[in-house]
Chains A and B, each alone.
Chain A
Amino acid sequence: EAGVTQFPSHSVIEKGQTVTLRCDPISGHDNLYWYRRVMGKEIKFLLHFVKESKQDESGMPNNRFLAERTGGTYSTLKVQPAELEDSGVYFCASSPLTDTQYFGPGTRLTVL
Chain B
Amino acid sequence: KQEVTQIPAALSVPEGENLVLNCSFTDSAIYNLQWFRQDPGKGLTSLLLIQSSQREQTSGRLNASLDKSSGRSTLYIAASQPGDSATYLCAVRGSYIPTFGRGTSLIVHP
Q: Which A residues lie at the B interface, using CB under 8 A? A: 3-4, 9, 31, 40-45, 48, 56, 59, 91, 93, 98-106
Contacts and interface: CB of A to CB of B under 8 A. Distances in A.
Contacts, number: 41
A106 B102 contact: no
Interface in B41-88: 41-46, 49
B98 A42 contact: no
Nearest to B36: A103
Interface of B: 4, 32, 34, 36, 41-46, 49, 89, 91, 96-103
Contact of A105 (B32, B43, B49): B43
A48 B96 contact: yes
Nearest to A106: B43
29 contacts: A3-B43, A4-B43, A9-B41, A41-B102, A42-B4, A42-B99, A42-B100, A42-B101, A42-B102, A42-B103, A43-B89, A43-B91, A43-B100, A45-B98, A48-B96, A48-B97, A56-B97, A59-B97, A91-B43, A93-B44, A98-B96, A100-B49, A102-B46, A103-B43, A103-B44, A105-B41, A105-B42, A105-B43, A106-B43
